Amino acid sequence: HDGAVISLVVHPSDPLVVSSSVDRHIKLWNWEAGWRCVRKLKAHLNNVEKIWDVKTNTCIRQISGLQTDNSRCVGVVRPDCPLLVMTLQGNVTSLYNFDTDCYENSIDFKLGDVLNFAYAEGIKSVVIGFFGGIAMMKIN
């Protein structure tokens, strides 16, 4: 990347790490191939959010309803659940169901901008890191 990396996600079944950066690129890294970058994607402008199948390089769905320049998709909650964690206006955390194309829940934890998140399988929760602290959301 040519800028700061703002998000990392480990693929649930393939030997891949996905990174995104302020340089508006998303890269897929294969650790079984010596951490070689196996794909580089250019991010969209104008609030376009899409779900991609990285194996077939096809768009599965475009997410609708984004109304702010500061919204970004953070990632898939877990492989068996059709939810994405998204940030809206930088500080509001939303769960988006890509099967129904609807927002399930939106919460402002009053902890500042979202920095990152991780799904904790053992407690079935999303852990969210903010500038001002950490919050957890139980996923049923």
Residue 14 predicted with pLDDT over 70: yes
pTM given for the model = 0.62
pLDDT, tens digit, 9 for 90 and up, residues 68-116 = 555 555 566 666 777 777 777 778 888 888 788 788 888 899 998 887 7
pLDDT at site 110: 93
For residues 49 and 72, give the distance between their C-alpha atoms in angstroms, rounded to a whole number. 8
pLDDT at site 93: 84
Q: What angle do CA 121, 125, 130 make, to 5 degrees?
A: 120
pLDDT at site 66: 57
The full set of domains in the chain, from first to last, is 68-140 (2.40.10)
pLDDT at site 131: 85
pLDDT at site 9: 79
